[in-house]
Structure 1
């Protein structure tokens, strides 16, 4: 029996919306009919997901099962496969971005602070740099690809110069660099989650 009281997460709501936007692009109907069709089928999909969750499935699993069932009934297999592939690509890109920034920015600071372990931190920085290049090459929106490359490079150079030549205390250096990194990564991930990078 369906439990309509089960709340779905914001992320799942966004996934459902993205799925239906992708499906609606393939359907040629007047706009008003498209909106009605989307809303009616979206409600069915949500109901199906809620039933699956009430039967013990995790949200992600329930979403995948529900769109696969919908695809089977409506002959939309290739669209759902492409949607799932795009979602997986987004997740991999997000994880690569996080890892690149953590390894690179964290180890750059450490190269100048922990002199006895400098080789280790240089290797970690190189790994972060390689991930950064992989991540930047995966950006599909050309406008932002070059902008992100310029900002990434500028931020790396700023950190290196700041730790080498600044006369501030280590605490002040750390706070200023951390604030800059937080502001930059907030802007970067806002672009990413608004689907402006891939």
Structure 2
């Protein structure tokens, strides 16, 4: 049976509160990822006297952990309480990473810390995507995904600019701590959302 689709219905998909909420949470996660592991963390590592090979090894550790945790996330069976704990704790880990990275004083510590954003990419982003798409009608899925991607792409652009601006005005440590506060806000919002849903149930 073919379902009739009109433009008004497709545009309305962007008005769904849950889609909007988890799109902005993904904005935070993706913004932090682009500002740290994809850019300024390399600057921090080079500040420790790292060679190009050592900087590359740091990126490999991050990418490998992202792949591993993505695989793990695909095998998880999660009820709402577990989703809440895993999502909130992942934001908490990202906050810890952003707070600790500019204080790290050895390459080994940097290598260890690079595992944490792998959790953000492999598990947290998968959870946020799943939650954003949940409840969206099948014929609206592509439009909802487009909306989701458009929102988190804002974070991928704005956050690195913000970090660069704060770095130039003050220093990179303060910029990373600002990212840490954004991640904490994301974790708090997650807890508030899931607790409110629990009360409704």
The alignment's TM-score, normalised by the length of structure 2, stands at: 0.39
Rg larger in 1 or in 2? 1
Question: Which protein has greater RCO, CA pairs closer than 8 Å, 6+ apart?
Answer: 2
